[in-house]
Structure 1
Amino acid sequence: MTKTPTSGVRIALAISAVSLAASSANVHAAPAAKPVTATVNSALKWGSCPQIFPAGCQIAVLNGDPAKPNADIFLRVPGGYTIPPHSHTSPERIVLVEGQLTIRYQGSPAEDLTPGEYAYGPAGLPHVATCKGAGPCTLFIAFESAVDAIAFTGSLK
């Protein structure tokens, strides 16, 4: 014979369920960081790229500190610009925001990106990119580790 919980037990179970839900909600409380929104045309502070890149390359920090993990940046280069072969100590996640970009990672064929397309580069994998056309290329790049660029002089084959 199965016993049905009394109304007092049901109320206690309901209170426990609500308490558990409330404590679970606290686990997902909003982080201390503030939300960020930006566009390529907003009043971003653009600065120069690491010294291994020729003049004309610019970056704008969107979120975080480039010297620390988990920074997001815009990288902008003029049309016809080639980003020289390099690698990063961090994986990079790229979304092309504007322009047309050809990117080639070591051991892989070149890929042509148009706005909205994504590329992922594992940490330490050398790559090169060229902004095609007359207009600039702007890339959103998310890094897991500090932002860096290490010159690469070997073959990308």
Structure 2
Amino acid sequence: MNKHLLALGILVCFFSCSSTKEVSKNTPQILRNNNSFLITEVSTDKTYGLSPKNPVEVGGVKDSEGPLNERRFLNALAGPNGEEITYFRSGSCCSIKSDNDPYGFGAVMLDNYRVTWMNSKDTVSIYINMYDSGTLKAPVGFTIKK
């Protein structure tokens, strides 16, 4: 009985953050260099990358480059006035739907990065999906590294 309740609790937690966003179209990413993606625009959607319901889709997990692609995305960003950013991965969270789930459940977890820059008052959470690949943009409040 306890095992069934534990399993049910895990499933509820796993799917409680599930995204309502459509599954990715697997858009190919363009490299600026080996450590950074080419990003050409800033999003006008205030939730893009800043909400687990609308994560940045960097892809790469199929080619064993998921974590590298997450860093490539973050390395392309700058603070609101072009400041150099710093970031760290704070962990995984939030289950979302994905056809690219390597385990066949149809859902994957996002990675959450905390991002800051010089004279910033706080850190900003950016949610990244390394399983699906979409058009990359800088989130609102960020600029693109020159």
Query: Per the shorter chain, which TM-score range?
Result: under 0.3
Q: TM-score, normalised by structure 2?
A: 0.28
- Structure 1 or 2: more helix by fraction: 2
Question: Considering only CA atoms, is the larger Rg found in Structure 1 or Structure 2?
Answer: 1
Q: TM-score, normalised by structure 1?
A: 0.26
Task: Specify which structure has the bigger relative contact order, considering alpha-carbon pairs within 8 angstroms and separated by 6 or more residues.
Answer: 2
